[in-house]
């Protein structure tokens, strides 16, 4: 059994739920982490899990909120501060959940969670596999989260061939959402 983490928010939620749609029940329990300012994501996740529990009776999942690490177009310096604050929140949460796998797809919220997981790995507490899937919107350039996590993730998945050329360490599986 693999404990799984998902970090996302907003429009990314639809994408990540599509990514999860074909995963077997071995990926359980599922822990969803999202920004505390996001209302719609919770409803979408519950609906997804509800449908899932109709097929798999032992489906387990949890929901956790963390402070949003960066607003759209927030300045660099203040982003560093808010991200550090988010790391303070996500570190104890990541420690508590001790995931085997972290799956994230782009929003700033995933950076502190991944950094927390890396720290736990470095400290020898728990080593998680970090899989990052760049959004389908990203055809030619990476998001800021993508640019950061390209260097820190174990597997970095892109959905368009141009990005595979520009970022050779990435994995291209075609369109997966």
Partner 1 sequence: FRFKDSLAEDLRKADLVISHAGAGSCLETLEEGKPLIVVTNEKLMNNHQLELAKQLHRDGHVLCCNCSTLVETLRSMDLSTLKPFPPGQPEKFALFLDKVVGFQ
- Alpha carbons 54 and 37: distance in angstroms, whole number: 29
What's the CA gap between 47 and 42, in Å, rounded? 9
Q: Which stretch binds partner 1 (CB under 8 A): 20-28, 59-67, 90-98, 114-122?
A: 20-28
| Site size for partner 1 (CB under 8 A) | 36
Q: Please select the residue that binds partner 1; options are 3, 7, 19, 33, rule is CB under 8 A.
A: 19
Pick 26 or 77: Cβ nearer partner 1: 26
Residues in contact with 11: Cβ distance below 8 Å, sequence separation at least 6, in sequence order: none
Residues 121-140 binding partner 1 (CB under 8 A) are 129, 131, 133, 135-140
Encoded tokens for 5 = 């983490």
Question: Out of 101, 118, 121, 126, which residue is the one contacting partner 1 (CB under 8 A)?
Answer: 101
Please report the beta strands in the chain, taking only residues with DSSP state E, as ranges in sequence order: 4-8, 30-35, 61-66, 101-104, 129-133, 155-158, 171-172
Tokens matching residue 139: 């055809």
> Binding residues for partner 1, per CB under 8 A?
2, 11, 14, 18-24, 26-27, 100-101, 103, 129, 131, 133, 135-141, 143, 154-155, 157, 160, 171, 173-177
């Amino acid at each position: 059994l693999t404990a799984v983490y998902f970090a996302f928010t907003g429009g990314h939620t639809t994408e990540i739920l599509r990514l999860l749609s074909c995963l077997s029940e071995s990926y359980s329990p599922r822990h969803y982490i999202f920004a505390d300012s996001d209302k719609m994501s919770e409803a979408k996740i519950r609906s997804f899990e509800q449908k899932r529990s109709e097929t798999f009776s032992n489906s387990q999942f949890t929901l956790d909120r963390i402070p949003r690490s960066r607003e759209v177009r927030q300045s660099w310096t203040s982003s560093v501060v808010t991200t550090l604050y988010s790391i303070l929140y996500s570190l104890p949460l990541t420690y508590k959940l001790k995931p085997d796998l972290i799956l994230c797809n782009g929003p700033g919220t995933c950076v502190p969670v991944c950094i927390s997981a890396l720290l736990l790995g470095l400290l020898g507490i728990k080593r998680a596999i970090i899989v990052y899937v760049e959004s389908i919107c990203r055809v030619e350039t990476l998001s800021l989260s993508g640019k950061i996590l390209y260097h820190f993730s174990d597997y970095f998945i892109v959905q368009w061939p141009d990005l595979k050329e520009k970022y050779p360490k990435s994995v291209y599986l075609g369109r997966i959402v």
